[in-house]
């Protein structure tokens, strides 16, 4: 059973470009979370999605950021018109939804560098 | 200040010694989890302790939870150079699905 997959692992963008980060949850998991980690800091929650629905986006910046988890395919975190402050590691985690404990399994992360 | 604050922020010890890291949080929780992160890498899940548990062991790891003080500790016994990493606690607050992470403790094991 493959773990959570994220791609790309590293992404370099120039200011003003778009960044698209992909996350494939563990097989059988229908819940996906996105977290951001700035250098030397802990992870900060961004958004929680179930298939085709955004459940909690309280951690998402109001502009330029969006997330989706379509019926088919990976979850996508999209950052439009990137700025240098968007440089960070973005982690995705998945959860089965059926367990009594919210144990989230993390992917290896995508490290975004904005030049 | 945020939920899940660790202390110390940095800890440097000699190989073979024990390392203790602490985590405090603010709201009622369902569970508390500890993760390890090697430099520039992803998170590795170490151990989960439920709110009705007081202590849990896994190999050289020992985790305690005191819900009255809203605090947890992670003890690594007989440390090894390979234990050098950042350690984070994460809480799963009641009524919420997201994990709230602390700032982490950077542990360095000197050979």
Q: Which residues pair with A75 in a beta bridge?
A: A23
Considering only alpha carbons, which residue of chain A is nearest residue B92?
A102
Better-predicted residue by pLDDT, A15 or A102: A15
- Position B1 scores a pLDDT of 34
- Position B5 scores a pLDDT of 77
Question: pLDDT digits over B24-65, tens only?
Answer: 998 888 899 999 999 878 899 999 999 999 999 999 999 999
End-to-end CA distance of chain B: 35
| Three-state secondary-structure class, residue B82 | helix
Sign of the Cα pseudo-torsion (A113, B3, B9, B14, in order) = negative
- Position A97 scores a pLDDT of 74
Considering only alpha carbons, which residue of chain B is nearest residue A100?
B30
Contact B42 A108 (CB under 8 A): yes
- Position B3 scores a pLDDT of 55
A34 contact partners, CB below 8 Å, separation of at least 6:
A23, A45, A46, A47, A49, A67, A75, A77, A90, A91, A92
- Position A102 scores a pLDDT of 74
Question: pLDDT digits over A13-60, tens only?
Answer: 999 999 999 999 999 888 999 999 998 888 999 999 998 899 999 999
Percent of chain B with pLDDT over 90: 71
Mean of per-residue pLDDT scores for chain B? 91
Better-predicted residue by pLDDT, A67 or B30: A67
Considering only alpha carbons, which residue of chain B is nearest residue A41?
B103
Contact B99 A109 (CB under 8 A): no
Q: Is B48 on the interface with A (CB under 8 A)?
A: yes
């Amino acid at each position: 059973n493959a773990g959570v997959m994220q791609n790309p692992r590293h992404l370099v963008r120039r200011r003003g470009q778009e960044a698209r980060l992909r996350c494939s949850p563990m097989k059988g998991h229908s819940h996906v979370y996105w977290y951001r980690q700035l250098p030397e800091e802990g992870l900060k929650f961004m958004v929680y999605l179930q298939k085709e629905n955004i459940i909690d986006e309280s951690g998402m910046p109001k502009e330029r950021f969006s997330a989706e988890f379509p019926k088919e395919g990976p979850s996508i975190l999209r950052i439009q018109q990137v700025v240098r402050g968007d440089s960070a590691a973005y982690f995705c985690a998945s959860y089965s939804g059926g367990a009594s404990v919210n144990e989230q399994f993390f992917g290896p992360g995508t490290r975004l560098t904005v030049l | 200040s945020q939920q899940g604050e660790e202390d110390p922020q940095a800890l440097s010890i000699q190989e073979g010694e024990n390392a203790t890291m602490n985590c405090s949080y603010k709201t009622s929780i369902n569970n508390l989890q500890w993760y390890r992160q090697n430099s520039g890498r992803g998170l590795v899940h170490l151990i989960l302790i439920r709110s009705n548990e007081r202590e849990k062991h896994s190999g050289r790891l020992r985790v305690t939870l005191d819900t009255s003080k809203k605090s947890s500790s992670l003890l690594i016994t007989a440390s090894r150079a390979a234990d050098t990493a950042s350690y984070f606690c994460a809480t799963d607050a009641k009524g919420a699905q997201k994990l709230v992470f602390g700032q982490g403790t950077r542990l360095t094991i000197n050979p």
